[in-house]
């Protein structure tokens, strides 16, 4: 274990043997850090409220603040937590809060995700695997980001919104409704404009399936149709597949409402 002499590490913290902690870091309270994780200078992990669990092989860069109390006036003190998986990179001055009892108690980051500088993730957010969140993007509480989504810089997402897998939220966009999987969304407020063909091709999705998903998206974007009619038309006109099933389920289970032009 390598802990710089200027770092302050709580006696309640549990660090794997090969964790590196840089200069002027503060690790307070109940914090667990897994093998191979590096914490660069001036980061603050944990606090007097809740718990922080960080997995293996993460890079936590300068000035990150992970596990602070929720920005929720109803929160007083509770045994809630922030859970971060393996292989993530968390950029400079990122802030991520622990969860709240009313939101399930956990803010969660998956594996192999890149969170760039100055990003904020509010309490009870759930971020999947292989997500990219670009500089200065801000997520309110209770936002869910599915696997392989990409959020461009200076984007904003209001509370309780879901961002579907392989969706691409463009730079400066603001989302207040659910963004369907596999789509490119832009605007204030953000709506889907096209299929994320590049992201799907890079993920190995073949041309036939891309055309199939594009057909479903065109049906969704027809505002003359109700959502029930959209789902019925997709069932009639699009070939079944696991990705199509996910697309349809995402639309059918939306509580916030699906973004449409």
Q: Of all residues in the chain, what percent carry a pLDDT higher than 90?
A: 98
Q: Do 2-142 and 200-252 have matching folds?
A: no
Query: Residue 28's pLDDT band (boundaries 50, 70, 90)?
Result: very high
* 215 pLDDT higher than 80: yes
For the question of residue 141 being annotated catalytic, the response is yes
For the question of residue 124 being annotated catalytic, the response is yes
Report, at the CATH architecture level, how domain 200-252 is classified. Answer: Up-down Bundle (1.20)
For the question of residue 214 being annotated catalytic, the response is no
Catalytic residue among 42, 49, 120, 123: 123
**11-35 mean pLDDT:** 98
**34-45 mean pLDDT:** 98
Per-residue pLDDT, 76: 87
The tens digit of pLDDT for each residue in 170-196 reads: 999 999 999 999 999 999 999 999 999
How far CA 96 is from CA of 123, 129, 221, in Å, comes to 7, 16, 34
Catalytic residue among 34, 67, 87, 124: 124
Catalytic residue among 68, 99, 141, 156: 141
CATH match for 2-142 among 3.40.50.620, 3.40.50.2300, 3.30.1160.10, 2.160.10.10? 2.160.10.10
Per-residue pLDDT, 186: 98
Q: Where are the domains of the chain?
A: 2-142, 200-252
The tens digit of pLDDT for each residue in 75-133 reads: 988 999 999 999 999 999 999 999 999 999 999 999 999 999 999 999 999 999 999 99
* 1 pLDDT higher than 80: no
Per-residue pLDDT, 224: 97
């Amino acid at each position: 274990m390598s802990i710089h002499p200027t770092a302050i590490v709580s006696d309640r913290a549990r660090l794997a043997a090969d964790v590196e902690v840089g200069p002027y870091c503060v690790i307070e309270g109940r914090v667990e850090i897994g093998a191979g994780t590096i914490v660069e200078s001036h980061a603050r992990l944990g606090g007097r409220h809740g718990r922080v669990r960080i997995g293996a092989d993460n890079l936590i860069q300068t000035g990150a603040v992970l596990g602070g109390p929720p920005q929720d006036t109803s929160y007083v003190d509770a045994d809630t937590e922030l859970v971060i998986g393996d292989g993530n990179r968390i950029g400079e001055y990122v802030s991520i809060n622990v969860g709240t009892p009313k939101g399930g108690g956990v803010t969660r980051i998956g594996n192999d995700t890149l969170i760039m500088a100055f990003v904020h993730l509010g309490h009870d957010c759930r971020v999947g695997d292989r997500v990219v969140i670009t500089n200065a993007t801000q997520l309110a509480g209770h936002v869910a980001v599915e696997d392989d989504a990409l959020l461009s810089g200076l984007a904003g997402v209001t509370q309780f919104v879901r961002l579907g897998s392989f969706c691409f939220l463009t730079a400066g966009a603001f989302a207040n409704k659910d963004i369907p999987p596999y789509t490119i969304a832009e605007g204030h407020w953000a709506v889907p404009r096209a299929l994320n063909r590049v992201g799907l091709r890079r993920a190995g999705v073949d041309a036939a399936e891309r055309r199939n998903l594009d057909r479903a998206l065109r049906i969704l974007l027809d505002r003359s149709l109700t959502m029930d009619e959209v789902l019925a038309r997709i069932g009639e006109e699009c070939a079944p597949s696991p990705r199509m099933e996910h697309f349809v389920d995402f639309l059918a289970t939306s509580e916030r409402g699906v973004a449409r032009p």
